[in-house]
Amino acid sequence: MLCGLGFDALVAHDFANQQSRGLTTYIRQVFKNFLIAKTYTFQIRLKEKTFTVDAYFISIANSNQFGNHFTIAPMASLSDGLLDIVIITEQSKIGMLYNTMVQVGGLNKLKTPEKIDKTRGIIYFQTDKININNLSNAPMHIDGDPVETEKEITASIKPKCFSLLVNKNELT
């Protein structure tokens, strides 16, 4: 599962309104929205810390990929009991592009919530619960599907509420 606020959600909303589908249409929407991208203000509350940040987008992931094998949270796991949070903070557009590629490439290291530095271009951490006040009314998506924007979002892991059966013979 992956939920997003901000830039990626704006792309999802615009993509949903297009007549044609597919990767080409999606890439066109990414470029169009990149040119007009703006930051949104969010207040983040964790058990360990509360902070306010201006960001292009926030991804809340329980798995590591968007569609088309685009990995935003390389350390995310459906079975670790944690949400992976990726925040691309306010910076130049070139910085945004660069830092997003660093994140997608798996080159950004996880931080503990206590060591979050909101002045960095990328904030990447894990938590079992996050509360986000969406102060700028940023658009929102769930698994790439546009949804109505919420002013307050709480995401948490509910331990042992989903069982996943894996045939170990198929993994080799």
Enumerate residues 6+ apart whose C-beta is below 8 A from 116: 49, 51, 123, 125
Q: What is the CATH number of the domain that holds 105?
A: 2.60.200.40
Domain that holds residue 48: 2-171
pLDDT (0 to 100) of residue 72 = 79
Q: What is the DSSP string of 67-129?
A: STT-BS-TT--TTSS-EEEEEEES--HHHHHHHHHHHHTT-SPPB-GGG--TTSSEEEEEESE
Say how many domains are in the chain: 1
**Dihedral of the alpha carbons of 112, 115, 120, 126, in degrees to the nearest 10:** 20
Higher local confidence (pLDDT), 90 or 165: 90
Q: Is the pLDDT of residue 172 over 60?
A: no
For residues 105 and 48, what is the distance between their CA atoms, to the nearest angstrom?
28
Q: Using one digit for the tens of pLDDT, what is the confidence trace for 26-39?
A: 888 888 989 889 99
Split at pLDDT 50, 70, 90, the class of 140 is very high
Q: Using one digit for the tens of pLDDT, what is the confidence trace for 43-54?
A: 999 998 999 999
For residues 113 and 124, what is the distance between their CA atoms, to the nearest angstrom?
9
CB 127 within 8 A of CB 81: no
Q: Using one digit for the tens of pLDDT, what is the confidence trace for 66-98?
A: 655 667 787 878 778 899 999 999 999 999 999
Average of per-residue pLDDT across 107-134: 91
Q: What is the pTM of this model?
A: 0.86
Split at pLDDT 50, 70, 90, the class of 23 is confident
φ, ψ (nearest 5 deg) of residue 61: -125, 140
Q: What percent of the chain has pLDDT over 90?
A: 42
Q: What is the mean pLDDT of the chain?
A: 87
Higher local confidence (pLDDT), 12 or 45: 45
Q: Is the pLDDT of residue 6 over 90?
A: yes
Closest CA to 162 of 85, 56, 77, 104: 77
pLDDT (0 to 100) of residue 64 = 65
Higher local confidence (pLDDT), 70 or 146: 146
Task: Give just the sign of the alpha carbon dihedral 18, 19, 21, 25.
Answer: negative
